[in-house]
Amino acid sequence: MKKTTISLKRLVPGLIIGPASWLGPYIVMNSLFLPAIIQHLDAPNKIQLVALFSTCGMIVAALSNMIAGALSDKTKSRFGKRAPWIIGGSFVFMLAMIVASTSQGIAFLLGAWMVGQAALNFIVAPMVAWIDFAPKEGRGTASSAYGGLGMALGNNGFNVIGAMFLSQYRLGFVIFGVFTFIGTLIATLIVHEPSNLDNEEVATEKKEKPKLSWHDIKTIFPSWSVGRDYYLALIGKLFQGVGNFAITGYILYIMTDFLHRGSQTQSTIQMINIIMLVFGIFMGFVAGPVSDKLKILKYPVGFSTIFLAIGALTLFFFRNDAGIIIYAFAAGIGMGMWNSLDNLLNLEVIPDENRVAFFLGVYNLGNTITQAIAPVIAAVVISWFGFSAIFIVSFVFSLIGGISMLSIKSVKR
């Protein structure tokens, strides 16, 4: 079967606009608008409710991501494997967020949010597989465009704008939901994935349509001996993600309830995200090309977590402006380097090249599922030990994530 290759001239812009269009609105709504509307609807139980939403979201995200990746890998259409699911997912996500904006009760909000979580993963799993369309010599650049530039804009750029809608969070749900659909549509049109109807694999499948066997179901995930490095990368992604989102998922409450920023909350959140955005974009331009040239990948991904760990400790020890700025700088460097290269590292250790979207999709649950796990862990830690303890949790989880990445054997450096 001939592998589909798309030129970097089309792929790179799509890999920047695409992830920014789904991740940015999601980050804003998950970290700012959702906590704000929950606080409005049931302030006394806000910590527990954020954890509830996160737990339900984690389950929905895990299931929908695997399903989306598997369906995408098997799809045959004149628009390619990925585009139909990406566009469909973004449209449903937009509708779900518009519905969420009208919520007058927790149950209704939870239902709309869960539909949005499922739809979101029908964007994520197929879109990250676009990286596999890159020419062999340009995969580092493609990965850097997706993670370093696209996800940097998504993780930090949108929060700068999103903080302006804190007092109008219902309108924010609508605006950012619509933006997801429009941005994703534009990215898909730029990439312009070719038809795969004439793929050799299709002709084979038309003649032979093997039934799904119990053996196939049991081998959805390979054994540890086969998929060791993939599993280590997945473990690293999950621990690093929890370390990061344990702080960012509660950034609004950290500013109001822990650091007592009061009227400076909005400007402080904007400042943090601007600093992280600048470093994220810088790493997006630099990390991928340097990785391609020097043939170095595992070490920068693994050691990037040290910066996250340092950032977490500064907020723990310095509960003032200096601590906030140091956190923003350290987290900006660490996340910029990580986002630029971690998808490429995962692509190098995928155990089955015929199921790229599935395995990349499961791996990229780290971008959604860890935002669900982290608030649950943080809620427990906060209730037992207070807000300050989540910074220690972030420190420990970040380091474990880095160690897991550095333990990969098939990628030498």
Residue type, 222: P
Residue type, 181: F
Could you give the CA distance from residue 102 to residue 80 in angstroms, rounded to a whole number?
36
* Residue range 222-246: mean pLDDT, rounded: 85
Cβ atoms of 87 and 162 within 8 Å: the answer is no
**HSE (side-chain half, CA atoms, 13 Å) at 169:** 20
pTM of the full structure: 0.71
Q: Where are the alpha helices (DSSP H) in 155-194?
A: 158-162, 169-191
Could you give the CA distance from residue 88 to residue 212 in angstroms, rounded to a whole number?
26
Angle subtended at Cα 141 by Cα 348 and Cα 310, rounded to the nearest 5 degrees: 80
Instruction: For residue 221, give the nearest of 68, 104, 66, 95 by alpha carbon.
Output: 66
* Residue pLDDT, tens place only, 351-365: 877 777 777 777 776
Could you give the CA distance from residue 27 to residue 368 in angstroms, rounded to a whole number?
9
pLDDT band at 288 (very low <50, low <70, confident <90, very high): confident
* Residue range 340-369: mean pLDDT, rounded: 76
Most distant pair of Cα atoms in the chain: their distance:
68
* Residue pLDDT, tens place only, 81-92: 888 999 999 999
Instruction: For residue 126, give the nearest of 90, 155, 176, 170 by alpha carbon.
Output: 90
* Residue pLDDT, tens place only, 158-188: 877 887 887 888 999 999 999 999 999 999 9
What single DSSP character describes residue 168? G
Instruction: For residue 125, give the nearest of 358, 373, 371 by alpha carbon.
Output: 358
Higher pLDDT, 315 or 216: 315
Q: Which segments of 33-83 are extended strands (E)?
A: none
Q: Where are the alpha helices (DSSP H) in 295-412?
A: 298-317, 321-348, 356-363, 369-385, 389-406
What single DSSP character describes residue 157? I
Q: At what angle do helices 34-42 and 46-74 cross, to 10 degrees?
A: 140
Q: Tell me which residue has tokens 């990746």.
A: 69
Residue type, 168: Q
Cβ atoms of 120 and 22 within 8 Å: the answer is yes
Residue 95: CB atoms within 10 Å: 17
Could you give the CA distance from residue 393 to residue 396 in angstroms, rounded to a whole number?
5
Cβ atoms of 340 and 143 within 8 Å: the answer is yes
Domains, the chain, with CATH or none = 8-197+224-406 (1.20.1250.20)
* pLDDT, position 210: 45
User: Chain centroid to CA 324: how far?
Assistant: 23
User: Chain centroid to CA 223: how far?
Assistant: 26
* pLDDT, position 219: 62
* Residue pLDDT, tens place only, 290-305: 877 778 888 888 888 8
Share of the chain above pLDDT 70, in %: 92
Indicate if the pLDDT at residue 140 is higher than 80: no
**Average pLDDT, whole number, for the chain?**
83
**Torsions phi, psi of 197, nearest 5?**
-70, -30
Helix or strand holding residue 1 (H, E)? none
Among the ranges given (260-269, 306-315, 345-354, 363-372), the one the predictor scored with the smallest mean pLDDT = 363-372
pLDDT band at 214 (very low <50, low <70, confident <90, very high): very low
Could you give the CA distance from residue 407 to residue 294 in angstroms, rounded to a whole number?
20
Could you give the CA distance from residue 172 to residue 24 in angstroms, rounded to a whole number?
12
* pLDDT, position 92: 97
Could you give the CA distance from residue 354 to residue 357 in angstroms, rounded to a whole number?
9
Cβ atoms of 122 and 88 within 8 Å: the answer is yes
Structure tokens, 78: 């004149």
* Residue range 197-221: mean pLDDT, rounded: 53
Cα torsion 29, 247, 403, 369: sign: negative
* pLDDT, position 87: 95
Helix or strand holding residue 267 (H, E)? helix 265-294
